[in-house]
Structure 1
Amino acid sequence: MHACVIHAAGDLRVEEFTPSAPGPGEVAVAVAFGGICGSDLHYYRHGRVGDFTVREPMVLGHEIVGHVSALGPGADGPPAGTPVAVHPATPCDQCAECGAGRRNVCAGTRYLGSAARTPHVQGGFAQHVTVPDAQIRVLPPHLDLRRAVLAEPLSVALHAVRRAGDVRGKRVLVTGAGPIGCLVTAVLRHEGAAGIVVSDLMETPLRIAKACGATGTVQVGAEDDAWDTSFDVAVEASGAPAGLRTCVERTRRGGTVVLLGLLPPGEVPLLGNITVTRELELRGAFRFDTEFDEAIGLLAGGLPVDAVVTHTFALSDTRAAFDIAHDRTVASKVLLDLAHA
């Protein structure tokens, strides 16, 4: 079998491995597709994501779907051959945060393909993975696997919109039209936002945002910038300090700014006086929890997000896939076909 392994910044390899048999309470999955996330790209290009640094070889990937291949002793799972998605998180279920229903910020969470802890948690860009049975989600029979692979990033988008509160009838700004920003746009449209303006530096991501439900777009730096001067809610999905500045500047008094994109490590500028005098609410949004099941339902129900997936590569072409995924002039969500090494 083969897997996509990061060793250090720029050192990405497709390596052979021998999958282990599922133990008690575990399910083995033959992975069909994996979606390359922005965090995977950061590990590839910089060897880190925010404050999480690669210190040992790690299989990347946490957006995966496939078919059950085997059940371990006592596992509560579907029979072999069943199409499934894999929830990438295993919270501790014992800390105060888990007890308060905020398992997504559990400090003890094990998350597929994450260097947040050492030893790192190995990820899902492998032809076979073994996970606890609680992470398995059976997919509706009519949901195509290429579409189902969006369940994880769509869950991130759902959680971010939930953090914003009720968006019905509100004007919302989304900075950053990467895959997450476009999925946030689709969720906002589904939740009844009255207007959704998406900003980005590139033309191609903005076209995808339009297909996902944006009512207006702004190409940053273009001479015909058509900004609405005041938004009720802003979602920062770019992970860029300039995006955060834009959100704070263009949110109305008493409005809400949701910080979703991971900013560069260390301190970043913040328009503190505007935040204070407008009484803005700044809310972080990190990963997700139960939204994963809702995301699968929305995908099965036809949420218009197909434009987000732009490319598919065989596992053997992993480096090319990552390079294309980084080129935002042509790509949005890039998939690895892990069934073909």
Structure 2
Amino acid sequence: MTFPPLREELRGLLPYGAPQLPIDEVPVQLNVNENPYGPSDACVADIASAVAVAAATLNRYPDREFTELRAALAAYLSGDTSASVGPEQVWAANGSNEVMLQLLQAFGGPGRLALSFAPTYSMYPEYARDTVTEWVEGRREDDFTLDLDRARALVEERRPSVVLLPSPNNPTGTALAPEAVTVLCDAVGDGLVVVDEAYGEFRRDGTPSALDLLPTHRNLVVTRTMSKAFALAGGRLGYLAAHPAICDAIRVVRLPYHLSAVTQATALAALRHAPELLARVDDLRKERDATVDWLRDRGHDVADSDANFVLFGTFADRHAVWQGLLDRGVLIREVGPSGWLRVSVGTPEEMGAFREALVHVTEEQR
């Protein structure tokens, strides 16, 4: 046996991660879909006060069931759906990444499979790998939508225990039609359909949330995060809404006291400032739509986006374009289908720097 005794299927693999470069070297960083606007001064003060209170009791374990936080998250979600969400329907963990991993720990595993439709979030197959769950990928159409007949047929053929559907999709930004959720919830039988709405707050007017369908499908799970709309990427708080039996099942696989008292206090403080934090979402949506229009006016292919990022292309040598932007102090993401690039939506000044750099790079390559 080779030391260390790593699982054979993990040997030679590199850990997940987008490039992280010093801000003084690359001043415009638009590659990991962060919110460019930090929490307000009032929110920062509230977080600091709440954490100070929590710090006085750090000799004790935190509330294992994070009861107050579940109630606050349920109240927030109930305001974003036609259905009422109760605390018993909410589960939270350290980022929506851990929520997804816990779902596959509980409902995947040896002899079971998880399924999604490419292009899709690149971490999904890693969750499957880490939980020894078989991974199956269908394909999206050229416009990144789902052919529902083909999607249903694949689900009925493979019988996954978990279907993972990001909406808006990462890396494309496209949202699922509500009928797609219904079709796949019906097709999967007793399996779960997980609609990953990490970017749900950024969806365009008229694009519904899968939360509306929770009362209709007991096997539907809708995940969210506070990393994006709440400008809390450093806080690491993701959560889901689902049937109470699903939340109870996840409790079996969660680690003891997995949400620290500091995390709970931080998230509760941010939720108290939801209106002011979410006001920035409208600004980012406008900047996103303006970016889509500008890119299309320049002759680029652009995927419709309901997220805080834009996928655009296509380039014969996308890496050269990516490198050219980086050389000019603008970092975006080389991800998605061949020939495409993804830019996160930043401040107007950051997007202006992106546009200027892209014009120079593309003109040089003609």
Please indicate the TM-score interval, normalised by the length of the shorter structure. 0.3 to 0.5
Q: Which structure is richer in relative contact order (CA contacts within 8 A, separation 6 or more)?
A: 2
Q: TM-score, normalised by structure 1?
A: 0.37
Q: TM-score, normalised by structure 2?
A: 0.35
Higher helix share: 2
